[in-house]
Homo-oligomer: A and B are copies of this chain.
Amino acid sequence: MAQQLATWTQLTKRSALQDMLELTSGSEYISFGLGLPNAEFFPTEQLARSANEVLLQQSNILQYAPPTELLKQQIQLLMGQRGVHCSTSQIFLTAGAQQGINLLARLLLDPGKTVLSEEVTYTGFLQVLEPFQPRILTVPTDPVMGIDVEQVEKILQTEERPACMYVIPSGHNPLSYTLSREKRQRLAQLAAEYEVPIIEDDPYGFLEYEDIEIPAIKSFQSDWVFYVGSFSKILAPGLRLGWIIANEEVIEKLSIAKEATDINTTTLTQQIAANFLQKDEFTKHLLYLRQEYSSRRNCMLDHLSARLGEVGSWTSPTSGIFIWVRFPEYINTMELFRESITTEKVTFFPGNVFAVGQNQISTSSIRLNFSFNNHDKIDEGIARLSRLVKRHI
């Protein structure tokens, strides 16, 4: 059978996410690995009420249906917080951000094309690229300063025009940086100037802990930036809801690709979310999430300082759910990870998982998630991590 399968299937193994989910599901593990929100913060009772209301009051809720206008209106309002002003006809509903990225790639890429990406980036984007086997032009990046915009410009000046560039400007996954307003503005200009669409992946843009609220790149350039949003981190991933904001020409093509992919997004969860968002409890919910997650972030930063201050350095993210930790160069975090599975039983993603090709900044680094565990678990997990690392110093 194997030789009958498409080429990309020979080049790839079972997903790290699936492996990690299984590996760390036992209660003996403390997982800083996956980028999971905390299920205790989901407004489950309110969503149950909404489910009941929409199922019993709306007759066509379980039928095939066009995207829910009410949900688009709520997203339109929400996007004001990201500085993006658009009409509902520029909003396209998806089954989460991953599908948004996947549909956009299908729209923008022909096999063998070129793509511009940071040298360290979200693995889900790289998975999306696999069937197209593109040439990837990598740009240097930094856990604090973010993508090197000057290098982006240099590449655009000298190389074949890429089919798209991919950026995660807020609470970057995995590096955790939040890009400055100036860099966003400049990226937006470059996209328009060189006519290269930006896929702006913004699942963490609403999780902002310092009230800086830097607008989305999309707010600076409406045509050449495709904004990808998600309810997974701010409401609940189990609803599988996200959105794309793009111009109407692109939306029309997206609707073709979407229909071929899965006909339409789950109508039931669209309606549940719309019903909940309409009740105006969402602003309160978002504030609550910001408070809780920033408190967990602070907790993890405190424990890192107390236990690993002498052997590592890390970011202090202003948004998102990750901290990027760097150890001395002689520490290989992939080996650290393998050792941890059988010894300390604390899990994390080694930096190399996110590397596009070989690079320096990832082999001695790890990504830690701070949203999933409570304060006690964070304390215990960082203690375990500290023991693990110190055996290698």
Instruction: Using CB atoms and an 8 Å cutoff, list the residues of chain A in contact with chain B.
Output: 1-2, 4-7, 9, 12-15, 17-18, 21-22, 34, 36-37, 39, 42, 44-45, 47-48, 51-52, 55-56, 59-66, 94-96, 98-99, 102, 106-111, 124, 127-128, 130-131, 163, 195-197, 223, 232, 236-240, 247, 249-250, 252-253, 255-256, 259-269
Contact = CB atoms under 8 A, between A and B. Distances in A.
A48 B44 contact: no
B18 A259 contact: yes
A254 to B, nearest CB: 10
A42 B64 contact: no
Given A106-B6, A260-B130, A61 B44 contact: yes
A111 B111 contact: yes
Contacts of A128: 260
Given A51-B51, A55-B47, A266 B266 contact: yes
**Residue among A17, A102, A247 with the highest chain B CB neighbour number at 10 A:** A17
Contacts of A261: 98-99, 102, 261
A76 to B, nearest CB: 21
Number of copies: 2
B255 A18 contact: yes
Contacts of A99: 261-262
8 contacts: A12-B256, A47-B62, A48-B52, A48-B55, A51-B52, A128-B260, A237-B263, A266-B266
Nearest to A127: B260
Contact of A236 (B62, B247, B260): B62
